Amino acid sequence: MASDADDPNIFELPSDTEAALALLAAQAPPASRICGRNPVASQHYLYTIVKDGTDVDREIERLRLAHRVHVLLIPTPRGTEHVLVRTEHYAAALREAGFDELAVCVASCAGLTVAMEELIASTGMAVSTLEGMAARALQAGWLAPAASSVLAQAQGPEEAPSAQSGEGKWGWALPQAGRLLVMQLRCREEALRFLWKQKFHRSPRLAVERHAAVKRVITQSQLDFQFVLRDLLGKQLVSEQRVGAGGASVLQLTPAGEQVAHTVNLQTGGRNAKRRR
């Protein structure tokens, strides 16, 4: 009888991307723990830990196909975010919410969308029953209309929903994910707004972190500055450098960050002008 010692994978170390996911989970602020009591993270956060973005993307694809990580495409006012959640956590949250049929399917369906045919194959249930379940899941925020959520971002033609209707196919979703990403965006833009006003668009990290408007929006969001900084760095809107004998951290807008910050400040100026009128 083979022992555990004979298993060639028993001493296999996690990849850099898996280790980065574990680190993000350990450091997750309360507001990001929206999958049951487990955290989610935008994929670009991994780029701040594993410097080879191509390797991260390749590894996430491997973990997705192995049913270890589930990828959700969540629309935001600034585009679609790739949100990562452990498949086991997602399935457990679906069961807790009363969607056992989806929990069964998510354990075997790695796609960005789920089709009626996949639900039938994984559950063996009647179409009418599954249609009722899907309608409830749509209303509760666990599914989204495929045509609106993943059509433009589907990874491959086999996952792209019908351009005509999208009926019988849905995008995976997560209640409160939209709110989390909106709050993430508010924190991002407040930090960019502050840096835009500084000389050379740079400032000590501590000054950004302690700025009243930045602190206020982070507190309201129940996030933390480290979470916000990972967002800025992962989006390549800000660079971080160590300067001086003490190695103090200095943040500076990148060219891409300057463009976004300029737009944010124009929008803020327009809103302020409307209030004065």
The span from the CA of 153 to the CA of 144, in Å, is 14
pLDDT of residue 13: 74
Residue 12 — very low, low, confident or very high, per pLDDT cuts 50/70/90? low
Query: How far apart are the C-alpha atoms of 208 and 115, rounded to whole Å?
Result: 46
Q: Is the pLDDT of residue 21 over 90?
A: yes
Return the pLDDT at 147. 64
- C-alpha dist (Å) from residue 212 to 183, 191, 206, 216: 17, 11, 12, 6
pLDDT in tens, 235-269: 999 999 988 777 789 999 999 999 999 999 888 76
8 pLDDT band, cuts 50/70/90, is low
Percent of the chain scored above 70 by pLDDT?
85
Residues 211 and 155: their CA atoms lie apart, in Å, by 40
Question: Quick one: pLDDT at residue 64?
Answer: 94
Q: What is the chain's percent helix, strand, coil content, to nearest 5?
A: 55, 15, 30
The Cα–Cα gap between 177 and 262 comes to: 27
Interior angle at CA 46, CA 45 and CA 50, nearest 5: 140
From the list 183, 178, 205, 182, the residue with the least C-alpha distance to 194 is: 205
For residue 33, give Cα distances in angstroms to 30, 37, 64: 6, 5, 20
**DSSP annotation string for 222-250:** T--HHHHHHHHHHTTSEEEEEETTTTEEE
Q: Which pLDDT score is estimated for 77?
A: 83
Q: How many helices (H) and strands (E) does the chain have?
A: 12, 9
Q: Using CA atoms, how far apart are residues 111 and 24, in angstroms rounded to an integer?
A: 23
What torsion, rounded to 10 degrees, do the Cα atoms 224, 226, 232, 235 define?
-110
Q: Tokens 């009722």 map to which residue?
A: 132
Q: Which residue has the tokens 């209707």?
A: 165
Give the pLDDT confidence of 81-116 residue by residue, as tens digits. 999 999 999 999 999 999 999 999 998 888 889 999
Q: Is the pLDDT of residue 204 over 70?
A: yes
User: What is the per-residue pLDDT for 151?
Assistant: 40
Task: Write out pLDDT tens, residues 36-51.
Answer: 889 999 999 999 999 8
Span 121-127, average pLDDT: 91
Domains and CATH numbers, the chain: 4-174 (no CATH), 178-276 (1.10.10.10)
Strands 248-253 and 238-243: antiparallel
pLDDT at 240: 95
Tens digits of residue pLDDT in 212-242: 999 999 999 999 999 999 999 999 999 999 8
Look at residues 228, 221, 172 and name the one whose alpha carbon lies nearest to residue 42: 228
